[in-house]
Structure 1
Amino acid sequence: MQCNNVTTIPKGLLQLRDRLSSMMDSLYCDPKVAELMNTSMGQYLNGHPFLALAVFVFGAMATVPIVIFLTFATVTFIGATVGFVLLEGKSLHYLYNTYCPLLQCQYTLSSCVV
């Protein structure tokens, strides 16, 4: 009993495979990638592509919350710094006008008698 079911691969899928293969060949020709692939970790991940994909996806997904946190921390720091400078400037202006009227009078009116 012979099986006569022969599956043919569509032409578009073969072209996609060829383009993907040529892209991977050009990627492996890069000196940095070749250096990484010569390490023991690169050879292990090359032999275990599912694990390599899982590591890549985990790394990509872990960067999203880190970037969101760093953006939030930076915006908060800038806002707190600007608020502090404005608040201190306003309070110094208030203190200067309240407790130093003689100095203010001396610099604003030349005919002021102390």
Structure 2
Amino acid sequence: MAKEEPPSVSRDLQELQRKLCLLLESFQNNSKVVAFMKSPVGRYLDKHPFLALTVLMFVSMSAIPVGFFLLIVVLTSLGALMGAILLEGLVISVCGLSLLCILCGLGFVSLAMSGIAMMSYVVVSCLMSYWFSPRPLTQQTANTDCQLAMKSTDFEGLYQE
């Protein structure tokens, strides 16, 4: 029986990296993305990636509460057309304060999630570069022998004193 070799992890990672590079290149060549990146806001966010990630998470997480708020505004506006002006003002005020509280909370959550995402990215990239960096076997054994020799000379110096 012939041995079956498992698929090479490095070849799979290179293929994945190639596909991701093509996807990023297609996004970067989009005319709307190019126009946004030339604007002052795009240049500022390009220089501050942590802020860009925080804004992206905040906007994506605040879409549902803002949608509910707008739905309540439309429904209460319909109620105002029927003569419930005091009820509309009360409901919009309460909902506006509720939305303010929710958006402040989402701002802090998105800031924390951005920090966690950035730290995770740094840790994972460091671990990936450490695990998949090419290290010849001869250097590892020579380095270990050198460290052992240095430790033994340190102990000999201690015993002589």
Give the TM-score normalised by the residue count of structure 2.
0.38
- In the other structure, the counterpart of 1:36 is 36
Instruction: After TM superposition, give the deviation of residue 32 of structure 1 in Å.
Output: 1.6
Identity across the alignment (%): 30
Q: Give CA-to-partner distance per residue, 1:25-75, whole Å, 9 cap, x none.
A: 111111121122123432332243232111111122222211110011212
Unaligned runs of 5+ in 2: 1-7, 84-161
Alignment of 1:46-85 (within 5 A): 46-78=46-78, 80=79, 84=82
How much is the aligned-residue C-alpha RMSD, in angstroms?
2.8
Unaligned runs of 5+ in 1: 1-7, 86-114
Letter in 1 for 2:76: T
Instruction: After TM superposition, give the deviation of residue 10 of structure 1 in Å.
Output: 4.4
- In the other structure, the counterpart of 2:14 is 14
- 3-state SS of paired residue (1:46): helix
Letter in 2 for 1:28: Q
Greater gyration radius? 1
Task: Return the alpha-carbon distance in structure 1 between the equivalents of residues 9 and 39 of structure 2.
Answer: 36
- 3-state SS of paired residue (1:24): helix
Change (3 A) 1:50 1:14: farther
Change (3 A) 1:12 1:52: farther
Give the total of aligned pairs. Answer: 76
Task: Return the alpha-carbon distance in structure 1 between the equivalents of residues 57 and 48 of structure 2.
Answer: 15
Give the structure, 1 or 2, with the largest relative contact order (CA under 8 Å, sep 6 or more).
2
Q: Which has the higher helix share?
A: 2
Change (3 A) 1:67 1:51: same
Instruction: After TM superposition, give the deviation of residue 11 of structure 1 in Å.
Output: 4.1
Q: Does 1:25 align with 2:35?
A: no
Change (3 A) 1:47 1:14: farther
